[in-house]
Structure 1
Amino acid sequence: MTPLLYCNVVSTGKRLRLSRIFRRNTGRTVIIALDHGRRHGPLRGIEDLRQTVKRVLKAEVDALMMTPAMIEKVADLIAGRVSVIARIDGTGTIRGPDETDDRLIASVARAVRVGADAVSVMVYLGSPREAQNLEKLARVVEDADVYGMPVLAEVLPRPPHLSKARDTQVIAYASRIAVELGADVIKTHYTGEGFEYVVKCTPAPIVILGGPRRETPLASLMDAYEAIRKGARGVAYGRNVFQFERPEVMAKALLYVVHEEVEPKEAMERALSDFR
């Protein structure tokens, strides 16, 4: 099943852009998120973003996620090699007063100018700024429709009203609201048991996020493996790839898991063999 089968009325531009993010033969994707600098600054693993991009490109991943400014910095490396998703919000930094105060830092038009195949925004549901976040998403969806640009909503439940961030009911609730407002793709937590319900309630492709680096690479691969088997359409991993000592190996292992449903241990063994 391709992501476009959720709706028969899809613009040509949106159809073409989504086809560059999701592989035609599997309908799935491996996205490497490299947009953390807007929030964390020079996080370990992306101090030298060009070097990190070079390494993950060796694995032939499906898409990268970066801010428009950083897309411009690596355009010569990625042209013709990988799809790109533009993160267009990012005012809530880790040292600021409120990380959920994530306002727009770029327009959809700028994302078009830098060659993006989709735009991405954060949606913090349950936070005191919930209404502001939802209004932002709706406005971006409206603007993106003019250009046939897909919108990926990164849906993250937050206290005080949604304190159980990985609860199945909470994630289903938050993901459905984002789709009701027009999101084309959802990036959110994998909930483990009951994730099938999230997929059932969300009429859009779901890619799971990686979050902070896990204790072992196999733990991250297992999340991806289980999520795919329960209906996820891919992953959007950042720190669990670029903070791995060999990011190209981790990225390749994810490709085996997502597109071929190879079990995590075997996927890692294959990836290590590929880069000997």
Structure 2
Amino acid sequence: MIGCARKLSRLFDARSGRTVLVPLDHGVGEGMLPGLEDFPKLIGMIRDFPVQGVVLNKGALWACLPEIPAGIQVAAQLSGGTRHAVPPYSRSLVCSVHEALRLGADLVVTQVNIANDLEDRMLGDLGAVCDEAHGLGIPVLAVIQPKGDRIVNEMDPSLICHCIRLGAELGADMVGVPYSGDARSFSRACAGSFAPVVVTGG
């Protein structure tokens, strides 16, 4: 796990202890979103901001890696699914850890949506990714959120706290969750997590 720890430390600013990862992986799920048409331009813009990493799907990683500044960590998104799927919250592994490493990734990302009929498969994928990645010395960021027909409020603080604990318990090196809006419970869940927590954007 020494290799994982070294790579993980590069994701955090030495002075603030915080991290900013730019997610450019929405094209698989949402299609041609306005603003995501010109990847070389977007990668060039990253140079002008104090960010620690960028999240890319494997095709974009293969095409854009030469343009990414050396100090920016590259995260390969392993999960995929479109908004046209039934159900739309389904996520499947579309890239392996080995392929991500071959393409030049510094860490891998996998998505899990809980509280639905596909939860068991996505949790199994997370466990398998953690095993494979840690065997190769690469950190895992698990992006976990409540998504399903039975959920009344996706930002329910208790559900978000469960997502944080779930990621840490299953071996992720970092856990990404939406901010619940409840500072007290969110802070308590972060403090009780043995994996760093990052807030995901919409």
Residue number in structure 2 paired with 1:204: 195
Give the TM-score normalised by the residue count of structure 2: 0.93
Is the CA contact 2:174–2:197 (under 8 Å) kept in the aligned structure 1?
yes
Residue number in structure 2 paired with 1:145: 134
- Is the partner of 2:87 in helix, strand or coil? coil
* Structure-2 separation of matches of 1:41 and 1:81: 29
More helix as a share of residues: 1
- The residue type paired with residue 68 of structure 2 is I
Map Cα deviations across residues 6-42 of structure 1 (whole Å, 9 max, x no partner).
Answer: xxxxx22102211221122222101100000111121
* Structure-2 separation of matches of 1:72 and 1:107: 14
User: Does 2:98 correspond to 1:109?
Assistant: yes
Give the greater-gyration-radius structure (CA).
1
**Residue 32 to residue 39, structure 1, CA distance change in 2 (3 Å):** same
- Is the partner of 1:100 in helix, strand or coil? coil
User: Does 2:19 correspond to 1:34?
Assistant: no
How far did residue 161 of structure 1 move? 4.1
- Is the partner of 1:187 in helix, strand or coil? strand
* Structure-2 separation of matches of 1:160 and 1:21: 35
* Structure-1 separation of matches of 2:16 and 2:144: 24
Give the TM-score normalised by the residue count of structure 1: 0.69
CA RMSD, 1 decimal? 1.4
Unaligned runs of 5+ in 2: none
- The residue type paired with residue 22 of structure 1 is F
Aligned residue pairs: how many?
A: 200
Residue number in structure 2 paired with 1:88: 78
- The residue type paired with residue 102 of structure 1 is R
Q: Which has the higher contact order (CA 8 A, sep 6+)?
A: 1
* Structure-1 separation of matches of 2:105 and 2:201: 22
- The residue type paired with residue 136 of structure 1 is D
Residue number in structure 1 paired with 2:64: 74
